[in-house]
Structures are given as structure tokens and as C-alpha cells.
Structure 1
Amino acid sequence: MRSIVFPLCWSLFVLSAAAQQSSSSSPSLPTVESTTTVLGSPEPVTQGESPRVVVVMDTQQHRLAFQDIEDYLRTDSSVDIQQRSPGGVQSDISIRGSSFEQTLVLVNGLRINDAETSHFNLDLPVPLPAISAIDVLHGAGSALYGSDALGGVVDFVTAAPEATSLRLTAGAGSFGENQQSFLASWLGHHASEVLAGSRDFSTGFIADRDYRTASGSSETRLDSRLGKTDILLAGDDRPYGAAQFYGNYNSWERTKAWFASLSQQLGDETQAAVAYRRHSDIFVLFRDDPSYYKNQHIDESWEGAIRRRQSLFHDTTLYYGLEADTDQIRSTSLGEHGRNRGAGYADVDVRVAQRGTISAGLREEVLSGGGGRSVLNPSLAGSLWVHPRVKLRGSIGYGFRLPTYVDLYYSDPSTIGNPNLKPESAWSYDGGIDWYPSDHAAASLTVFYSRQHNAIDYVKAAPSDPWQASNLVGLRFTGVEGSLFWRLTANQQVKLAWTWISGAQDALHGLISEYVFNYPVNNATFEWTSHLKPGLLVRSRTGITERYQQDPCPVWDLSVAREAGRIHPFLQMMNLSNTGYQEIAGVPMPGRSFTGGIELDLSRRSK
């Protein structure tokens, strides 16, 4: 801690003093209540109206201050990122102590969770420049979104163009890093197009930890008498050195993902959508001897949905729909398998202006090839304004998850799958209070509890035994999460967030767990953002994570970028504290690193 306290305090003191002298013409920050979200609700509502805990991250506001999607997600203290390598190579995500398999990931409301293994859930095929927002729902979301939404839901929302523009970005940095990206958009009267691409290359901070990631997307939007049409095509390619990822081996891996979706409005009240995802994974145990052990997997999934809304009364709306999902895998080690799911859902929302909301939902999901039964997912959420600036809220929800194909069928000398695994499920409860003392500040406090049934984990009785996929009983999590947002001046803001979690230690009954108790007991983040003269952005973030039975781990990041005009130089300084840490046991993360570059903005209208 002493290694970062002095430089952190010094930087905040100097930058804060400079901020007091900054020009009042710098862009002001948005008001707390104006941010719109759709997660946890069938229709967009503001964060102030939502009865659920939803964190909204604007990825276009200060884009040059962040390196990748993991940087944004780390600003939410209830989100745990367990990263194996930078550059978006491979990261596990969990929410409120859940396992990395219990978080559902969406793109524009459509599933991209990987059927092979949830280690690839954040293989986002859409480049970061094309993303406008990341919405994070805390707690169960299966009533609206189906399987995998036990701990929470993350939705990546793509950007709609506001003008015809072109942005070009290039940078270089530590460990041989070299990156380029572009975003080109065209805006017409009844149509628009967004093209985006990114590339990130690094020789690696240690041997056999190099990577070369590339992604590209095209999104076409059309307006017609029928309604809005959205066509998204995206793909990515990620070859990387995987040294120590799954043991003391100089491994190598390459994943590719393709995603296509079509969303069509059918009048003002109905929307239909269809999506396709294909993901391939090649894994080599010894990079210098690929023939010794090699796995190759290809999984595909289809999703279709039709959703409708109907006004029942002045303040009451009914939302309902039908969905279908299918996935299959062809694998050298897992074999060939497939399964289907169908679901119907309904949700009734009652919203009384300046008084509160009540939302009740029910979803029935019929499963085949992964349980052979149906699952009923109820949810209930409500909020009450007890004062013009104080809101009480609470929610109850049920979530479930089907095992991945690795859980079911993988087998090697150290890990054994279990084809008899049952789907895991959980009841989740939370209650909290939101306080808006002014238009420039907001505070939130939430208590949550989750009780899981048939939780899936890999366990063993002795250190020399292989890991065995198993269902556990009696797994529970209790926690508290708090956040504070404060706009100090028109050009300066502070965000603080902290989450404490306690898990039931008796769920293993003397067995050794691989994943269940890798959650953070304490996770805190402090973020300070300021605009300095002339149009200079400075962002400092310090995160401290204390995992179960491990020492606290502090990491300090600092970014500086010019946002005014058309030429935007930037400097991103990661892990300035030079902390040696591991988010996954045995997989070291990089020390201090620097990335600098420039963005050229050729938009028709200057920002």
C-alpha cells in the first residue's frame, strides 16, 4: 500500500489544484438522473426510475482514457474481472461473488455466451470503438434473459451515428505493443452505417505471452414504414501465447468469433430479432511441440425472439414474448453435441410518476439436451420514492444456468467432466436505498443475498486427485455494495464504489474447490476525472481487491488525453504502482506499462 499512497495523493493534489484553474468552457458532465438503461426492465428507463441495481458505462464519453472493455468493467466494484492477459485476450467476469459461468453477456440484448466454456464469454466480436455503452445488471436476470443470468447480466450496446465522421487512432507502448483502430460512420435521412475495426499487437511482458487481436464490424440501420431495422455483422481473431494459463506449460491458443444479428420493428409495439454466433478454439499444450497435445473446438448458436408490449391502463404495461435458442459443438476432445431451448415470458410494469414502480415477471424455459425439463423463472422488483430525492427499492429473482460442454464432457489426467451434471440455480434477493442530494451527486447502498442450488464447481478430495465437475449444495453469498458519485465542479467528478462479500464455507463438506471461493471479499475502486485547460482530460483510478484468504492487491492507473479539436494525443499509464499480482492463481499479470498515441477526428461537426 505504501508503494502507491504517496504518488496517488501527490497526483490528486496537483491535478485537483490545476482543475480549480481550468476554463469554465470545458464540457460539463451529464446529470446523474439522465442516463437511460434497459437492463432489468423490458423498456428503457432512467437509472433513477429503475427498481434494480444497474450500472451504465458511457464508452464514448472519455474513450481515450480506457484501453479495453475490462478497464470499464473494473469501475463497478461488484464486477470481478479475472484476467489472464491484457489486450482483451481472455478474461473471466463475475458479479456479486458468482462464478464466471453465472454471468450472461449480451450484445444489443442478444446472447453471446459461449457454449464450449465460459472462459470465452468476453470474446467480444464488436470492436470497442463501435460500442456506445456497457450496462451491468446486478443480481438474477433469468426471468427476462434466460440461462446463465444467476449473478448478473452485461449488455454491450453498439453506437448509433450522430454525424458522418471518421476517427483514426494509433498507439504504441510497453512490451512491444502496437495498436490501431478506426470508426467510420455515415448518417442519412432514413439510413446509417457504422464501420469499425481494431488491431492490438504485443510481444508479451514475459516469454510466450504475446498476442495479436483483431476485430471488425459493420452495422446498418434503416427506417421504413414497417419500423427500424438493424443489421450487425462482426468478427474477431485472437491468437495468443497462453503460457501458464492452465498449468506450468508454454501453451498457445487461437480463438475466432463471428456474430450476425437482425433486429426488425413490426410497428410501434412489436420487435423481432434473430442472431447467429460461431466460435472456434484451437489449443496447443506445448507451443514448441504442437503435435504432442492439441484440441480444436467449433461451437455455433442460433437465437430468435419476438417481443411485444401492450398498454393495459394509464400506468400499466404488459410485455411478453417468445424466444428460441439452439447450440451445438464439434470438438476433437468433447465430441459432437447439441441442445435446444424454448421460452415464453411475460412482465407487467406499473409506473406511477414520482411515486415508484412495481415489476413482476415470469418466464418458463423448456430445455432439451441439458436437463430434459422446464424451468420456471419468476421475478419481482419495486421502488418507492419516500422523498423527492430518496428512493427505496428491492427485488427477488430466480436464475439458472445449463452446464457448458466442457463441464459435461471434458476429460484429461487433471480434469474430469460430468455428463450427469444438473442445471444450477439460485434465488437472489436485494434491497437498498438511493439518495440524490443534488443534481450533481448520488449515493447508493444495497444489501444482497444469494442462495444457490446444484452449483457447478470442480472439486477434489486431496491435492493429488484430478478435478471433478460436481454439483454442490448449500452455497450462499451475502454482501453489501455502496457507491458515491459527486461532481465537484462543472469539469471535475469523483466516483467511489465498494463491495463486501461473504460466502458459505460449509458448501464443500471438506472438498477442495477450484472456482467457488475465488471471489473478492472486498473490492473497492476510486475514480477521479477532470478537464484541465485547454480541453485536457485527466483520469485516475485506483482499485484494491482482496480475494478470499489472500492479501489485498492495489493497482493504480492514470490516463491523460486531449479531447478538444480534431487531433487528440493520449497517454495511458497502467499499474503505475507496479504491483505484482495474479487475478487467477499461477497466472502473473504485467507490471507498470505505458501506451501513447494519437486520434484523428474527421467528423463533419467538431465536438
Structure 2
Amino acid sequence: MKKQFLFAILTGLALSTKAQTDTTTQHLDEVIIQENRIQIPFSKQSRNISIIDKQQIETTPGRSLQEILSFVPGVDVRQRGVTGVQADIGIRGGSFAQTLMLLNGIKLTDPQSGHHMMNIPVPMVNIDRVEVLKGPGSRIYGQNAYAGAINVITSLSEEKFLRVQGYAGDFGMKGINFAGSLPAGKYKQNIAVSYDDSNGYQYNSDYQVSNIFYEGGINLNDQNSLRGMIAYTDRTFGANGFYSSSFPDQWESIQTTLSSLSHTLNTGQFYLNSRAYYRRNVDEYRLRRNEPEFYQNNHTSNVYALEANGHFKSSLGTTGFGVETRQETIESNNLGDRERTMGGLFLEQLFNFGDLVDLRAGIYSNYNSNYGWKHFPGAEVGFQASKEIRLYSGYGVSYRVPSFTDLYYVGPTNIGNDQLVPEQAQNWEIGAKWSKANFRSELVYYIRNTDNLIEWTRPTDNAGEDIPWQPQNFTKVNFDGIELSLFYRVNPRATTFQIKEFSFSYNYINADLKEQPGVETRYALTSLKNQVIGGALFGIGKKTEWNTKMRYVERMNQDPYFVIDMRIDYNRLGKIGVFAEASNLTNTEYVEAATIQMPGRWFRAGFMLNLE
């Protein structure tokens, strides 16, 4: 393992050295980060943000967003099986419940359980880019953006096109998706349908996943526009060991519906986006797949929300403001019939002191019908030391409320705790960014001091009894870490062999949560500790691309593992293309979540058809 790890790092450094001799340059697009109020170009952000763009989505070896996120620095993806059929996402050592998922700024938080946050009803082909905000996001996105937030962005095309992609692979895996754009005058619209299934790589790990996605929009005039979306996903899977290693025949079926309608007014000096959205999640869970009468949970959760966010410009700079209201309900044979209401107020100000210094400060005030009012201030300051170097520092308070499962669940292996109080954390970070021509790099150090951390525990001295897990509040837990990342990209050339993209990152996270005598913890003591990610995208001739990705992951109190994935594309941007992918080329035995062994070396291949 150590020899493989050292060889991978040396190979990456060698590739980096070679890439630096390439004189081809490319000016990366000045991407505007899609926050809900003040939107700032990526190069002017005083935060640690990673962007996964269209090229990376299309060339990274992976059949799901979850697999692609596993190559983002500081992001901890814990899959239960392949292609992300059920996966938890953590950021900077945080748990799956401490990450907020969004789709075009719409919160996808499920009040039942954080395990459902990745039920994103959007086929991969429709994703334009993904923005990963690391660190406190409560001031920007509201509650539950505790350790970070991930915003999936789609875009409406003005051109007609049809894209078809199909694939097949090991474990009886197969899938097909159709995505098209059909603008009609001023009205733009996208529609996509996808289906994936597999027999499973081990007993009771089969799955079927279907997605239907539609979005449309129209510019009413130069200042007003409307945009709407409706999407649906159905995930049904054998859940061998997913939630308890004692029951190999677990099974789950989840259907998620999401719809939204928004209006945008933009005069240049004044911007206002108003939207309403609705999310419904239906979850059927069986402890024994073919015996629902033995133990079965049926949950139906609904989220209704209204938001208005905007900004205006004045002599003081840019002022951002927002208001939100949200109602969450659940009907469950296990959790009971519950509901809670939340409201929020946002206010922030961006000051520019000449061309070199900027300060962004604000506060989010949240009302929860169960916990009352809470206030979350934060600020970031940036200093443009030179054209290439930007220094920054920030502070923020983050917040997460317990899920209904945390509070009320009753089962043979888990039991809730209705005395839980919300988690809260103080966050600090300091960092530096360097960007020149084809290169960009970033170094950041961060601290998160948590009060009332919610963690599932059970006594270790159980006298032979199988005592269930139950969540508790820990008084104080401190995290600190460092992240280093390097990225290189060059314009493609018609050469025989070319390094088109290279990336390397290292993360170290330290948590002072210690084992307590007689108490076993479920998630916190398996948080990310060391993470190394590397990758290189090679161009071979005019039409062939070869992408190699590697990960070295070490979590607290778990064995480290090293994995290499690979993908080859031919004519990806042409009318007809083909690809082949391989995962875990090292044939490593490893576990990402619970006690579930991930598969060894496995393969898939497919085709792409692009019509315009």
C-alpha cells in the first residue's frame, strides 16, 4: 500500500514537471459563483470553493455525481455500493447530515434523514457544473450548510440538440439516457430521461434508478424572466448491510419529486429573484426484503418553501438581502406525523476598498418552531497581493437542526432522542490562492469548534445484548485541517500526445473527539483524516482522451486504502463517440461506509450520440 501510494505521488509530480514546459495557455472562464444574493466571480472569492465543470463531469471515470464528487479535495464520499445508489457526502470531516445539497440554489435537505440528500432527480448529462463551498455556509444558504454546501447547476440552451448515451458493464450493469433541448422562440426548454440498473456486485445489492427532468424558461423582456422545473427520481435497491450489518436482506425504495417556479428582475443596479418550490420524498424500507410484515417503515415527507433574494448597488458597495419560509412535514408509521416551520432573514454587505481589499460581512437570522430564533454572523476579507496572488481570511457560525430520524426513530438497531438540541459551530479559515495562465493553486488552514455535536452512540459493555444506537449531544468537539490543491489545464492542440489537465490535492483533518470509556460512536470517529487525490487527462491525437484518477483515503480508526480509476473517450465532442471506464484498477479491498465491502476491479463501456 505505502509503495503504491509513494509511486502515485512521484508519478504525479513527474507529470506536473512535464506539464510546466508546455507553453500553450488557456484563460479559464470567469465563472460567476451562483449564490442566492451577492454573486462574485470565482477569482474574487474569499472562500475555499471547488468547481467541477462540464469537461470534468464528462471525462471523469464515474456513472454518478457521487463518484465524481469523490475526486474533489476535502469531500468525503461514502458509497454503499456502486454508482452512488446510496451515498453520504461529508466536507472537512463533517457528517452527511452537515452538508447542504442544492439544485440551482434550491435546498434539497430532507427532514426525514440526511441519507436522502443525494436523491438528486437530474441525469448527469444535464449538469452544467457543480460548485462546492467548503466551510460554514449558513450565512449564505441558511441552516444545515454546516460544514459546506454543494450546488448543482443546470443551464438552458438556445440551440436545439439531442444527446443519447448508453453503457453496460460488470454486475449486469446497464443504463441509457436521453437529453434534449427544444427552444421555441423566446422559450427555452430542456428535457431528459435516464434509467440505470444492475444485478449487484454482491448478494442483495441490485438496484434500479430512473430520472425524469424538465426545465423551461423565458425572458419576458430585458429585465424580467421566468424559469420553472419539475423532476422525479425513483431509486429501488437491495440494501445488504446499508444500515445494519445484522440484516443482509434489507431493501429500500425511494421516490423523490421536486418542482419549482421562479421570477427574476434584473435592472443592473437592482436584482431580485423570487421562487417557490416543493419537494416530496416517499421512502419504503424493509428489514427483510421479502417479508414486509417482519419490519417495515413507510415515510412520506413534504417540504414547501418560498424565498426572495436580491441585491442592490450603491456608493457603499453591494447590499444583499433575502427572506425565506419553509414548512416540513412527515407522515410515518415509525416517526409519527410531525411538522415544523422555519423562517429566515439574510443581510450582507460587500465593501471594496480600492482595487486591492474587499470585505464581505453579513448575518443570517433563523426561526425554527421547535428551537426559536438563532443568529449566524460571518465575514470574509480578501487582499489582492498581486495579479496572481490573493490572500483571504474568514469567520462564520454554522448551524444544523436534528432530522426527524435523529429525534423520533424507533427500531431494532436504532432509536431516536427527542431531547436533542441543534449543533452549532464557530469556524475560522485563512488561505492563499495563486493563479497564472494555465495554473491555479490554493492553500488553506481551517478550524471548526463545535458545540452540541450530534453523534449516534451506544454502550460498549452491553453484557451480550444487541443495544441499539442512539444520538447524543457532545458538549465540544474541535476540528482543524489543511488543504493544498494544484490544478493545470491547457487548450487542446492537434498533437500526438498532450497533457490537457492535471490535478493534485492533499487534505489533513484533525478531530479531538476521543473515545469515551464505555461508549462507542458510529460516525464521528470515522471522519476523514488524510486524503490525497491526483489525476491527469491526456489528449492522444485529435479525438482520444485518457483520464486517470487516483485516491488515497485514510479515515480515523479505519484502514487506509488506495484506488485508481481510469476512463478513455474517443470522439467525445463529435456526433458519435465511445468510452470505456475501469474502477479500482488496484483491486483494493476497502470500505467506505458501515461494514460494506466495495467491489474489486470492475469495468463498463458505452457510446455517446450528439445531434444538433
Q: TM-score range by the shorter chain?
A: over 0.9
Give the superposition deviation at 1:279.
Answer: 0.4
- Long gaps (5+) in structure 1: none
Secondary structure (helix, strand or coil) at the match of 2:80 reads strand
Give the superposition deviation at 1:70.
Answer: 1.5
Alignment of 1:142 with 2:141, yes or no, is no
Aligned residue for 1:386?
385
Superposed CA offset, 1:523-579 (max 9, x none):
110011122212211111000000102222111000001224211100011111111
Query: What does 1:390-409 correspond to in 2, within 5 Å?
Result: 390-409=389-408
Query: What does 1:388-537 correspond to in 2, within 5 Å?
Result: 388-436=387-435, 438-464=436-462, 465-487=467-489, 490=492, 492-506=500-514, 508=516, 511-537=519-545
Aligned residue for 2:320?
319
Aligned residue for 2:332?
331
Give the superposition deviation at 1:47.
Answer: 1.9
Give the superposition deviation at 1:513.
Answer: 0.9
Aligned residue for 1:244?
241
| Letter matched to residue 462 of structure 1 | T
Q: Is the Cα–Cα contact under 8 Å of residues 33 and 48 in structure 1 kept in the other structure?
A: no
Query: What does 1:56-455 correspond to in 2, within 5 Å?
Result: 56-59=51-54, 63-65=58-60, 66-225=62-221, 227-246=224-243, 247-249=245-247, 250-268=249-267, 269-313=271-315, 316-351=317-352, 354-368=355-369, 370-371=370-371, 373-436=372-435, 438-455=436-453
Q: In the aligned structure 2, how far is the partner of 1:160 from the partner of 1:29? A: 29
Cα distance, 1:176–1:29 mapped onto 2, change above 3 Å: farther
Cα distance, 1:3–1:568 mapped onto 2, change above 3 Å: farther
| Letter matched to residue 70 of structure 1 | Q
| Letter matched to residue 54 of structure 2 | T
| Letter matched to residue 347 of structure 1 | E
2:580 to 544, 548, 571: 571
Q: In the aligned structure 1, how far is the partner of 2:409 from the partner of 2:9? A: 49
Aligned residue for 2:601?
592
| Letter matched to residue 122 of structure 2 | V
Quote the RMSD (CA, aligned, Å): 2.6
Q: In the aligned structure 1, how far is the partner of 2:410 from the partner of 2:92? A: 30
Q: In the aligned structure 2, how far is the partner of 1:219 from the partner of 1:274? A: 15
Q: In the aligned structure 1, how far is the partner of 2:587 from the partner of 2:151? A: 32
With 81-90 and 210-219 compared, the bigger mean Cα shift is at 81-90
Superposed CA offset, 1:383-428 (max 9, x none):
1011221111011011111110000000123322111111111111
Give the superposition deviation at 1:454.
Answer: 1.0
Q: In the aligned structure 2, how far is the partner of 1:219 from the partner of 1:57? A: 21
Give the superposition deviation at 1:30.
Answer: 5.4
Aligned residue for 2:496?
none
With 103-112 and 581-590 compared, the bigger mean Cα shift is at 581-590
Secondary structure (helix, strand or coil) at the match of 1:306 reads strand
Q: In the aligned structure 1, how far is the partner of 2:455 from the partner of 2:6? A: 41
Q: In the aligned structure 2, how far is the partner of 1:3 from the partner of 1:262? A: 54
What is the percent sequence identity of the aligned residues? 27
Cα distance, 1:288–1:593 mapped onto 2, change above 3 Å: same
| Letter matched to residue 261 of structure 2 | L
- Long gaps (5+) in structure 2: 493-498
Q: Is the Cα–Cα contact under 8 Å of residues 552 and 563 in structure 2 kept in the other structure?
A: yes
Superposed CA offset, 1:476-516 (max 9, x none):
10100110112367552211111100001348576321111
Q: In the aligned structure 1, how far is the partner of 2:286 from the partner of 2:474? A: 31
| Letter matched to residue 569 of structure 2 | A
Aligned residue for 2:38?
43
| Letter matched to residue 276 of structure 1 | Y
Q: In the aligned structure 1, how far is the partner of 2:515 from the partner of 2:16? A: 48
Q: In the aligned structure 2, how far is the partner of 1:463 from the partner of 1:501? A: 30
Q: In the aligned structure 2, how far is the partner of 1:175 from the partner of 1:594? A: 9
Q: Is the Cα–Cα contact under 8 Å of residues 320 and 346 in structure 1 kept in the other structure?
A: yes
Cα distance, 1:574–1:243 mapped onto 2, change above 3 Å: same
Q: In the aligned structure 2, how far is the partner of 1:599 from the partner of 1:413? A: 47
Give the superposition deviation at 1:463.
Answer: 4.9
Cα distance, 1:2–1:421 mapped onto 2, change above 3 Å: closer
Cα distance, 1:459–1:296 mapped onto 2, change above 3 Å: same
Q: In the aligned structure 1, how far is the partner of 2:379 from the partner of 2:163? A: 44
Cα distance, 1:9–1:187 mapped onto 2, change above 3 Å: same
Superposed CA offset, 1:31-65 (max 9, x none):
346233234x7333222100111111113555154
Q: Is the Cα–Cα contact under 8 Å of residues 241 and 594 in structure 2 kept in the other structure?
A: no
Cα distance, 1:548–1:256 mapped onto 2, change above 3 Å: same
State the TM-score, normalized to the length of structure 2.
Answer: 0.92
Secondary structure (helix, strand or coil) at the match of 2:190 reads strand
Q: In the aligned structure 2, how far is the partner of 1:6 from the partner of 1:144? A: 40
Q: In the aligned structure 2, how far is the partner of 1:571 from the partner of 1:213? A: 21
State the TM-score, normalized to the length of structure 1.
Answer: 0.93
Superposed CA offset, 1:441-496 (max 9, x none):
11111000001111111112325333221111111101001101123675522111
